[in-house]
Amino acid sequence: MSHLSVTEALTTRKSVRVFDDKPVPQSLLREILALAGRSASGGNVQPWKVDVLTGDALKQLAGTVQGFIQNSGGKTEPEFPTYPNKMADPYHERRGTCGEVMYEALGIARDDKMKRIMQTMKNYDFFGAPVGIILSMEREMGQPQCLDIGIYMQSIMLLAKERGLDTCPQVSWTVFPQPVREALGLDDNMKIMAGICLGYKAEDQPVNELSQARAELSDYVTFRGFE
């Protein structure tokens, strides 16, 4: 295991979207998840439920969701809107830039709708990662518990990075929650919150080396009461 500081793990983590097929030992996943379980949560509620998939189980989930998308023509009842209906700048602009940077690295032109759709569909195979994680929580949970899930996701991503693994967080699975629940045998009470692709990143893939910009502190931080 490498010995990355938290700062190093945070600054070197990037979303990876092409993976090597090298398997990830279950023992390593257990270690990551046991440590991620140390994440803070409001009232120590620990609302996360975690499905960890590889091999046939992963293929079955991917097949079920891809089949659903094809049969329904993409019609679905998402768990929640991925973005607000109207998103003003700078958020709207940041979202647009994020996509442009990614499609440029993939060599996909702005007007090549078909290739863009095909790239989006790769979400539903965990971008070829050997391990896929689905995070869910009970439906009665509220917005504070969504924060807990986000903190838990970040823990998984940084712990993976520390162990030489890469990840991609995914909201995509929440767009088609019905077939996800069906494939995993989860009842309707379980809300699909996110996915995480996890594995060893493929080298020499420009899309894995994106430099997604970040806003300046002065854009969003207000220090108060300092001399």
Q: Binding segment for ligand FMN among 10-18, 109-117, 140-148, 158-166 (CB under 6 A)?
A: 10-18
Q: How many residues bind ligand FMN (CB under 6 A)?
A: 13
Nearer to ligand FMN, 156 or 194 (CB): 194
Compute how many other C-beta atoms are within 10 angstroms of the C-beta atom of residue 40.
Answer: 11
Residue of 39, 54, 64, 123 that binds ligand FMN (CB under 6 A)? 123
What is the nearest approach in angstroms of ligand FMN to the Cβ of residue 160? 13
Amino acid at 155: S
What is the nearest approach in angstroms of ligand FMN to the Cβ of residue 182? 20
Please report which helix (H) or strand (E) contains residue 115, including its range: helix 113-121
Nearest to 220, CA basis, from 94, 134, 114: 94
Q: Does 168 bind ligand FMN (CB under 6 A)?
A: yes
CA distances from 5 to 58, 156, 161, 197 (A): 32, 15, 10, 22
Buried b (16+ CB within 10 A) or exposed e, 78-104: ebeeeeeeeeeeeeeeeeeeeeeebbe
Per-residue interface string for the shown chain with ligand FMN, residues 181-220, x marking contact by CB under 6 A: -------------x---------------x-x--------
Contact residues: ligand FMN, CB under 6 A:
14-15, 17, 98, 123, 168-172, 194, 210, 212
